[in-house]
Amino acid sequence: MTTYRVDARSVLQVGEGLVDLAEVLALMGDPAADHWAFGPGRSGAAAQELLGGWRHARLRLADALTVLGESAAGAGGAYLDTEAGVSRGLGGGPTW
């Protein structure tokens, strides 16, 4: 039989870290405004296209990390609630 041990506080911390990372990614400055440094010609347009793709990917990643982080935080909270309920049910009082 396989046994799993879950550290609820670690799961909560992972969730918080993922949400923090998502916020940082979402709030990063948009480097597209600096495409002027490439000067006239095709290089400026190519840089603009590249930076636009990076912005799109960055924001999609931030959204995914937010969902994952919130899910991990919810799971960690559920584990803590379960542990506390089991402990109370066995007469041991709160575990946190």
Residue 36 located in a structural domain: no
Residue 29 located in a structural domain: no
Whether the CB-CB separation of 70 and 19 falls below 8 Å is answered with: yes
Output the pTM of the full model: 0.70
Domain with 46, as residue range(s), is: 8-24+41-86
Residue 12 located in a structural domain: yes
3-state secondary structure the chain: CCCCCCCHHHHHHHHHHHHHHHHHHHHCCCHHHHHHHHCCCHHHHHHHHHHHHHHHHHHHHHHHHHHHHHHHHHHHHHHHHHHHHHHHHCCCCCCC
Residue 18 located in a structural domain: yes
Residue 91 located in a structural domain: no
Residue 96 located in a structural domain: no
- Where is average pLDDT lowest: 7-11, 40-44, 65-69? 40-44
pLDDT of residue 96: 56
Residue 1 located in a structural domain: no
Residue 76 located in a structural domain: yes
Our count of domains for the chain comes to: 1
Band (pLDDT 50/70/90 cuts) for residue 54 is: confident
